[in-house]
Structure 1
């Protein structure tokens, strides 16, 4: 069977193990069902996630012109502390910014190799943790807007990392951590504006990923350069496909690439 379409972030379902779905316009693939099968991936063209044109992808699935225009790629996406919708100030599209920024946000701790702090909309829990390949995670504060989440993250990352090491995550070099203890230890560093939103009593959430074989020396597949790759799928973790020969393919990192996938 052969499927084709533009790559976008895999959809996920919190289960044991996590269920992964690669969604195209007219088809979808349950990636869990493809473990131990041979996949052939071919790069066909670009398809910007905004304009839909066959233009080289710049970042986050957008061509260069769209990346600097669409609100989905504005600086506050990656740096939530730059959010201004709560001040009624527009960046690129105030209606969009209000819709996204002025809703409950979570500052969390996640362990995908070592403990890190992050921000996500409440509605994206636990999806955000799954996308990062976190073994375990816990909410620290629930605030009413993105700005408060952003300044809390900035304050906490002076004391804990805000990055995920993708190689460590994929090799599954993860030790269990007591995230409740971490959360309580970091409570003192939460900014005054967000202290009232601290979550006093909540358990860790654990994630179980569908992986039969972890890579020992993961090497990233550049499908834009190689044009074609064939390998046996051995697992899915974060937004990565893991193959038998230690090749890993970051689906989210290749959004906007139009590909064909053949299964045998």
Structure 2
């Protein structure tokens, strides 16, 4: 990797990893909350709905959270069946009421037994001294998808909204969600509320902006975007920071939005 690329990525990481990044990005949705479970629920929803124009994504997320009385964790725990009728008209692109109702059902079942969604990503990870040390989060993502669809009445159509490396998906939305939950710094953008998954295990979200810039900079060589492409990108970024490679998601995404190259 040339020094020019290194300097560019470090410069743009510092530029975009700032609080002024928040208002125009889906991460603004969980930033409305302070309770850990609210951040997890709204973060997962925002990441799941994150395709299309960012303004539309934010508006649809706010609409959905408004249907939860702007108190998602309390709503998940305490709603009655009659309260679910209000979601029947919700839709964002191919995410519809069927998907929404299953997400609510999953969260209600999961939080009845767990205090953090992080637990669902730890299943199957190798643990040493209580801390997982797998090279990356692949096994955790595969098992999370199985846990998410472990309820008896899950709708088959909802599978397309929760990706897994088992299908060779790049898992860009879930990887973005994990970045939000796991990364810790003093910039105030990512939350860093999870402590068992390490930043070195994260895999860089590979959306259209990131892919385009990463290819131009020689960080990706695989012809199509899949799980191995995301891993290839992350491994190259580890040359810059082996402990926190996905911090350069800020730089690559920002350069893409700017129209760089």
TM over 0.5, shorter chain: no
Pair member with larger Rg = 1
Task: Name whichever structure is richer in strand by fraction.
Answer: 1
Q: Which has the higher contact order (CA 8 A, sep 6+)?
A: 1
Question: TM-score normalised to the size of structure 2?
Answer: 0.31
Question: TM-score normalised to the size of structure 1?
Answer: 0.30
Task: Name whichever structure is richer in helix by fraction.
Answer: 2
